[in-house]
Amino acid sequence: MAKSNDNGFHSITWEDDHLRVIDQTFLPSREIYTNLNTTGQVWEAIKNMKVRGAPAIGIAAAYGLYLGARDIRESGFESFYLEIERLKEYLESSRPTAVNLQWALNRIMTTIQAHKEKEISELKDIILQTAQTIHDEDERLCKSIGENGLEIVPDEAHILTHCNTGALATSKFGTAFSVIWHAHRENKVKTVWVDETRPLLQGARLTAWELKKEEIPFKLITDSTAGFLMQQGLVDLVIVGADRIAANGDTANKIGTYNLAVLANAHDIPFYVAAPYSTIDLSIENGEAIPIEERDTAEVTKIGSKEIAPAKIEVYNPAFDVTPQHLITGFITDNGLIRPDYKKNLGNFSSREVSMKK
Amino acid sequence: MAKSNDNGFHSITWEDDHLRVIDQTFLPSREIYTNLNTTGQVWEAIKNMKVRGAPAIGIAAAYGLYLGARDIRESGFESFYLEIERLKEYLESSRPTAVNLQWALNRIMTTIQAHKEKEISELKDIILQTAQTIHDEDERLCKSIGENGLEIVPDEAHILTHCNTGALATSKFGTAFSVIWHAHRENKVKTVWVDETRPLLQGARLTAWELKKEEIPFKLITDSTAGFLMQQGLVDLVIVGADRIAANGDTANKIGTYNLAVLANAHDIPFYVAAPYSTIDLSIENGEAIPIEERDTAEVTKIGSKEIAPAKIEVYNPAFDVTPQHLITGFITDNGLIRPDYKKNLGNFSSREVSMKK
């Protein structure tokens, strides 16, 4: 269960009795690690984006459930399970859009149910083991995503990506970032266009930081520069991650993803979504049913402590948007490349995992 | 020649022997006015965007030419004119994309040529008078633009705008902002979506500041949120300004304008450009010939003094993009609304002004 990372840093590690995460709100200027000892601390870390990225949130939440579970004093299964359900709902409230969070917690709930005859202390161990399994699986999944994405990257590729989908957002390698990382190892990457991803600047702060560490050639741009680059023929493909994929392929991801999908479509540029299977939510027919988290206005009006807008104004700050399936060229998953018809092909692909979901 | 402004502030005023401008780099937190006494100070103010907005730049440059001219000690016309040409080229180097700057300076040169028989001291007065005429005309033009734009604003309008095109960017009223201002007076504006306009945040800092002063309802968004709003049916029309319009209608404006034009087109939302005639450059056949200014990387990697990206990375920071004419629903000008065919209609429209251009 090696969690060491080629990048020389660990975004999430389990250390015997607590979770240790890199606090992403301090990047890129400072590399600070934080220990999380309680469910509440994990909730706060997810809410305030110390831990972020759909897969990383799922992993952290799974450990977060264990951190709460180990302190439960109930001895009967029913009352123990009731407490666990309460912890689960609490953790789910930290980021409503990312389905991996729900997926990871549901998987633990299903596993507990399957062992309801066991002692409470054993159940607690099972929760921790399941969290660790989710963690390990994610690393393998991310590696597969990167390898499976190689075929869609042309030589001398100019790749545009959005937000952060790297090792920081996952256990290792990342999702969209994993494709870039693996393509770079094969000398296929000419340059990566990293958009800054306002308001929280995950591109400028985190993706730029990871690419620099990996010595992958890149240039930072503002989010508004994407269309101009495409118009000039400077983008060969766009690869983004996903927070939730509906059964028909509609995809929720960081705000601005939809802009890029429309722009790519207008310029006949391939637009790919890279994601592990836990991001696919077959219970949701299409994107209209995906809840969109609206975040604090201060994310837009302040950068750090600096006010960049007049005081007391109205702000609209949705954290995600939904890209309709017809704008997506393909999904790069751990199980291979998925092309349209998504309604048919996403269902087939994830059917083996459906039993793990609620 | 009243320069007083309904907004309670003056972006540019000529005060007997010097230019006084509001230093826009301090907005919205502080309202600081700066006196400019030399051509060099005007150049620096334009270069560093203390004065910005295509029309305002033209006005400031015109006064800037006078500030240099009045100190010229040559007594013969030829040597005087040579010195003026040197000043003109210097001022033009401050912002290469905005055509108003060249237009204003060319207009002064033409006027000087027409009075070459006059005394040098008289010529200096003529330069100042021409600058003041350009200033006054701009105010009238901006008012006409606002009035002429009324017909394209529906009732209960949700208008999306980009960058700053208000009184700060002109002598008064603005261009795209003037349409919003006049529509608001007619109670036609439900809300204005103001995108922040990275990297220099003219939307968040300046347009939000002007709208707040005018008590026009608005909400601030990140640049990436535009597509999502359009997808949700929350945008009725887009109005932007222009830095240079080619003879065929291709329009250079603040980076991100092209993104909005593509998005508006994909959602069947009208996309208008509001600009005075001095923005139309009939000498340029199409957008390909418009020079695009690339600005300092620190505009993207720093906000104020705060570093928001890793140190020593590559950045691509074009200040403008070019929106092709087929994405533009119409031009709102002081001479009325111009619809396609632009190649034909822009030429007709500005023919009366061609004599003023070089």
Instruction: Mention the CATH class of domain A12-144.
Output: mainly alpha
Tens of pLDDT, residue by residue over B12-68, are: 999 989 999 999 999 999 999 999 999 999 999 999 999 998 899 999 999 999 999
pLDDT, position A72: 95
pLDDT, position B4: 39
Closest-CA residue in chain A for B308?
A205
Domain boundaries, chain B: 12-144, 146-357
The answer for B 212-251 residues in CB contact with A (under 8 A) is 212, 217-229, 231
- For the record, the structure tokens of A181 come out as 């990382």
First to last CA, chain B: 27
- For the record, the structure tokens of B225 come out as 């949120």
What topology does CATH give the domain A146-357?
Rossmann fold (3.40.50)
The verdict on whether omega for the bond into residue B281 sits within 30 degrees of 0, i.e. cis, is no
For the cut 80, the answer to whether the pLDDT of residue A355 exceeds it is no
- Helix or strand (DSSP H, E) at A336: strand A336-338
Tens of pLDDT, residue by residue over B57-90, are: 999 999 999 999 999 998 899 999 999 999 999 9
Q: State the best of A9, A200, A221, A225 to mutate against chain B, taking most chain B CBs within 10 Å.
A: A225
Give the Cβ contact number of residue B8 at 10 Å.
10
Burial A78-101 (b: 16+ CB within 10 A, else e): eebbebbeebbebbbebbbbbbbb
pLDDT, position B1: 36
B231/A315 Cβ within 8 A: no
Q: Which residues of A touch B216 (CB under 8 A)?
A: none
Q: Which residues of A touch B316 (CB under 8 A)?
A: 193, 219-221, 225, 229
**Side-chain half-sphere exposure of B200, counting CA atoms within 13 A:** 24
User: What mean pLDDT is predicted for residues A331-357?
Assistant: 76
For the cut 80, the answer to whether the pLDDT of residue B7 exceeds it is no
For the cut 70, the answer to whether the pLDDT of residue A87 exceeds it is yes
Dist CA A160 CA B36 (whole Å):
43
Tens of pLDDT, residue by residue over B307-322, are: 999 999 999 999 999 9
Residues of B marked active site are found at: 243
Q: Which residues of A touch B205 (CB under 8 A)?
A: 308-309
Task: State the alpha helices, DSSP H only, in chain A.
Answer: 39-47, 54-69, 77-92, 99-114, 120-149, 176-185, 202, 208-214, 226-231, 257-266, 298-301, 342-354
Q: State the best of B225, B250, B251 to mutate against chain A, taking most chain A CBs within 10 Å.
A: B225
Q: What percent of chain A has pLDDT over 90?
A: 85
Closest-CA residue in chain B for A296?
B221
Q: Is A321 a catalytic residue?
A: no
pTM, two decimal places: 0.90
A223/B224 Cβ within 8 A: yes
Tens of pLDDT, residue by residue over A315-329, are: 999 999 999 999 999
Of the pLDDT bands very low, low, confident and very high (cuts 50, 70, 90), residue A81 is very high
pLDDT, position B351: 44
| 3-class SS of residue B190 | strand
For the cut 90, the answer to whether the pLDDT of residue B249 exceeds it is yes
Same fold? A12-144, A146-357: no
pLDDT, position B304: 79
Rounded to the nearest angstrom, the minimum Cα separation between B25 and chain A is 11
Closest-CA residue in chain B for A197?
B224
Q: What percent of chain B has pLDDT over 70?
A: 95
Average pLDDT of chain B to the nearest whole number: 92
Query: Quick check: B298 contacting A, CB < 8 Å?
Result: no
- Helix or strand (DSSP H, E) at B245: strand B244-246
